[in-house]
Chains A and B, each alone.
Chain A
Amino acid sequence: MTMTPGLRKFALTAHVASSVGWLGAVVVFLTLAVVGLTSGDEDTVRGAYLVMEPAAWFVLVPLGLASLLTGLIQSLGTTWGLFRHYWILAKLTINVFATIVLLLYMQTLSYLAGVAAERPFSSDDLGVLRSPSPLIHAGAALLLLLVATTLSVYKPRGLTPYGERRRQVRRALSQD
């Protein structure tokens, strides 16, 4: 199934917007993680962790899923295909992996938000919140999404064995 040029451009725009939006949201999340880890003000630390959970549920998760969905539409609806080029396969792997880790990590973010909301708030609670975990996860996510963005722009060569077979079949059909 191949999309019309207009629909293809629309799907591409949606994919770029959601993917780059996801990247930007991860940068904001990384900033919150740095603030939560380094700020000397208790209220600021608690505020950072309180914001992380809804920000993840309402921004990171929807954008991650939108990026995955629009990427699938974009690849399956064009001649690129999903399994024909290594760079698309690599992007799919990165996207699926990042989305699964994000969904699993929501439990940790819920816990940290719960600790940040504790009343009364003890020094032990502050110690729990001073975790490098969000920073490490956001940093790794940023790295992965930057790799995915770079792959999208450069589109490095390389057909998978499946893509090569498809190309040979297409060539044989065009010669008949």
Chain B
Amino acid sequence: MADTPRIQDNGDDAPHEAPQAGRTTSTPRWVKVFGIIALAVVLLFTVLLLTGRGSGHGPSRHAPSGGANGGAASSLGAPAESHTKP
């Protein structure tokens, strides 16, 4: 990292590129790492949803189904105000 051009931090929080900074054609390594991590998280959630293991996740999971407890049943978009005991 020491031999790569960096944005100089001159303390006023404004971008000032180093004079020797040239064209950096490749995407920085940290961006690739972040992208891979984000992709892995998205894939993980997709797999969980597809396999049904994550079907209980989401804001709708606490919505009542009309049953006695109305706890973990799914009813997308049900208003939160309706969560009261009969």
- Chain B residues with CB under 8 Å of A12's CB are 13
- Chain A residues with CB under 8 Å of B9's CB are 155
Measured in the bound complex, the distance between the Cα atoms of B85 and A54 in whole Å is: 21
Closest chain B CB from A8 CB (angstroms) = 8
Q: Are B59 and A104 in contact (CB under 8 A)?
A: yes
Which candidate, A18-26, A32-40, A107-115, is the interface stretch facing chain B?
A: A107-115
Q: Are B83 and A110 in contact (CB under 8 A)?
A: yes
CB contacts under 8 Å to B, within A57-92, are 78-80, 85-86, 90
Is B28 an interface residue when CB atoms closer than 8 A count as contact? Answer: yes
Please pick, from A8, A79, A104, A158, the residue contacting B24 in the complex, using a CB distance under 8 A: A158
Q: Are B34 and A111 in contact (CB under 8 A)?
A: no
- Chain A residues with CB under 8 Å of B7's CB are 155, 157
0 or 1 for each of A90-125: is its CB under 8 Å from B? (1 = yes): 100000000000001111101110110010000010
0 or 1 for each of B65-86: is its CB under 8 Å from A? (1 = yes): 0000101000000001101110
Q: Are A124 and B69 in contact (CB under 8 A)?
A: yes
Please pick, from A106, A110, A156, the residue contacting B28 in the complex, using a CB distance under 8 A: A156
Closest chain A CB from B9 CB (angstroms) = 7
0 or 1 for each of B15-50: is its CB under 8 Å from A? (1 = yes): 101000001100110110010000000000000000
- Chain A residues with CB under 8 Å of B69's CB are 124, 128
Chain A residues in the interface with B (C-beta under 8 A) = 8, 12, 78-80, 85-86, 90, 104-108, 110-112, 114-115, 118, 124, 128, 155-159, 164, 167
Chain B residues in the interface with A (C-beta under 8 A) = 4-7, 9, 13-15, 17, 23-24, 27-28, 30-31, 34, 58-63, 69, 71, 80-81, 83-85
